[in-house]
Chain A
Amino acid sequence: GAVVSQHPSRVICKSGTSVKIECRSLDFQATTMFWYRQFPKQSLMLMATSNEGSKATYEQGVEKDKFLINHASLTLSTLTVTSAHPEDSSFYICSARGRGLAEETQYFGPGTRLLVL
């Protein structure tokens, strides 16, 4: 099946710093990538949808200036949490959908655990 990777798998940072998370589709071209956030013992909440080469579409309540999403190529999307605060600590998961094997199905990355001190 299609493979999606995320880097880093875990990150600890100080409050006020920015953190970048990468999401890559390894064996297919991801025309659309999705970013989700999952707080402990809760469900996955969609944060934003990004299509390659265009601006991301953010869900209601998600600050686009705080969560910067870039989908510059068909295999890479990045999420930057700017000026992170402890309440941003969460599990961030990306998924990708694209042509070929992955079409019509979202394939999820392994997730990135962010801890803001």
Chain B
Amino acid sequence: AQKVTQAQTEISVVEKEDVTLDCVYETRDTTYYLFWYKQPPSGELVFLIRRNSFDEQNEISGRYSWNFQKSTSSFNFTITASQVVDSAVYFCAGGYQKVTFGTGTKLQVIP
């Protein structure tokens, strides 16, 4: 069984602040994938990133960066210089054949 924990239910930041969303993925599997998805108010799920369990390199894409540390089972997501358009619910997910989602973190960026 796998478990995805997003301890932060809601976060509010002022525009231009940096914000980190936490995710802990627990599994006995050695091979798995980790994902982050964004769900804006419209409801559509937007794919942000996929990492495999063997790749612990940090990744940066524009204002987004991800830090995967297998030793602590964490896959954290940082938004630099947040913008109002970043306001959404962010889901962390993990798995291989079957993907399990965390409970989501609602991010509100205040102008």
Contacts and interface: CB of A to CB of B under 8 A. Distances in A.
Interface in A84-117: 91, 93, 95, 104-108, 110-111, 113
B101 A44 contact: yes
B37 A108 contact: yes
A43 interface: yes
Contacts of A34: 98-99
A61 interface: no
A107 B100 CA distance: 14
A68 B96 CA distance: 24
Contacts of B53: none
Interface residues of A, number: 20
B103 interface: yes
Interface string B72-111: 0000000000000000000100000111111110000000
A104 B99 CA distance: 11
Interface in B18-51: 33, 35, 37, 43-45, 47, 50
Contacts of A42: 103
Interface residues of B, number: 17
A43 B101 contact: yes
26 contacts: A1-B47, A34-B99, A36-B101, A43-B91, A43-B102, A43-B103, A43-B104, A44-B45, A44-B91, A44-B101, A46-B99, A49-B98, A104-B33, A105-B35, A105-B47, A105-B50, A106-B35, A107-B47, A108-B37, A108-B44, A108-B47, A110-B43, A111-B43, A111-B44, A111-B45, A113-B43
